[in-house]
Amino acid sequence: MHDGRVLVATNVLTDPQSDIAVLRIHSDSPLPSARLGNSDMVSVGDWVVALGQPFGLESTVTAGIISAKNRGIGITARENFLQTDAAINPGNSGGPLVNLKGDVIGINTAISSRDGGNNGIGFAVPSNLAQWISDQLVTTGKVHRSYLGVGIQPVSYELASQLGVPPRGGVAVTSVLPNSPAAKTGLKVGDVIVKFGAASLMNPQQLQIEVEKTAVGHPVDVAVIREGKPIVLKYDPAEAPSDFGVPSTNERNATPEGVKEQSLGVELMPMSNAIGKQLGMEGQVGLVVTAVQDGSAASKAGLEPGMVITQVNRQEVNTVADFEQAVKNDKDGSVLLLVKTEQGSQFVVVTK
């Protein structure tokens, strides 16, 4: 506690998909509590303060602004982070991110860094999402989420022109799982979802959270642009299977603190059965590309999230360590990758 007391939690409830936990503790005296704010009302540019214990330095306070909303960085299965430039370092995780009224609008969770220190890019779980998760953990012991059953991606300027949609906003559907709620809704590959219920969509993370928070038995209108024409579909929520799209803990390569690019500017995680089902590659082994750094060697070579790297210089790779070692051993200045997509396998040459 802040006053130096050490209290033992008698019950711990966790949600591995979001990295949120609820602890039950007992105290002989009243404990002060912070007031939760409405993270949906936060705007880019708002001033915020981060509190924590970086590097063991107690009661450290740093200030900054909200740099962006609805960020996904590939460190947990469920993400919709607030991004801030307030200094967040190892040891800050779990500390509050507060607005100038003193309301907690986020839980400090991660940093994007090449060296493990603060580079002005920190991430926090929005308070509304944390509240939704913790309420369910307390009442039922687990988090119930709805799902669509689609593969999705952001709509880039180039993709927008091909799909006949405005160049900003919306989420493109890249695959639809058979017999999934999405299939029953009538969604098709190539559709661009622009609105889910009352929420106008800007990126895939936002759609994911909106879908998951939808209660079973409460249908939602889904506004879609299909071949340049707007249509409205009706989504009937269904609860997601417990392992839907979630790699096991030992398969999640990135840790909440210190998101780092791998060699060549690509972020990777080992293939799992759940991810294989989502990508239509059941039984496939290798490394899933979860993110590609803009302007990196991987980006220039055309690598994209969702691709699966199975070989580096004709050597099979199943762990990130295998990948790193194979790239390190290469002395020619270019790396030959064998990459698997839904369409099949192809060789990709990446110049370092």
| The dihedral formed by the CA atoms of 270, 293, 113 and 352, expressed in degrees to the nearest 10 | 90
Under DSSP, the state recorded for 143 is: -
Per-residue tokens: 279: 């990508």
pLDDT digits over 51-89, tens only?
A: 988 777 777 899 999 999 988 887 777 778 999 999 887
Rounded Cα–Cα distance for residues 216 and 226 (Å): 26
Over range 312-330, report the average pLDDT.
Answer: 88
Give yes or no for a contact between 222 and 234, defined as CB atoms under 8 angstroms apart. Answer: yes
CA 164 to chain centre: 27
pLDDT digits over 161-194, tens only?
A: 767 788 778 998 877 888 999 999 999 988 999 9
Question: Which residue has better confidence, 294 or 42?
Answer: 42
Q: Which helix (H) or strand (E) holds 345?
A: strand 344-351
- Domains of the chain: residue spans and CATH: 11-140 (2.40.10.10), 146-239 (2.30.42.10), 261-351 (2.30.42.10)
Give yes or no for a contact between 124 and 97, defined as CB atoms under 8 angstroms apart. Answer: yes
Q: 82, 77, 86, 15: which is closest to 43 by C-alpha?
A: 82
Of 113-117, 135-139, 153-157, where does the model show the most confidence?
A: 135-139
Give the pLDDT score at 113. Answer: 66
Rounded Cα–Cα distance for residues 248 and 310 (Å): 20
Up-side HSE of residue 289: CA atoms within 13 Å toward CB?
Answer: 24
CA–CA distances in Å: residue 232 to residues 47, 146, 187: 38, 20, 10
Per-residue tokens: 15: 């949600």
Tell me what the pLDDT averaged over the chain comes to: 85
Q: Which helix (H) or strand (E) holds 295?
A: none
| The dihedral formed by the CA atoms of 311, 316, 317 and 321, expressed in degrees to the nearest 10 | -120
Over range 227-234, report the average pLDDT.
Answer: 93
pLDDT digits over 213-223, tens only?
A: 999 999 999 99
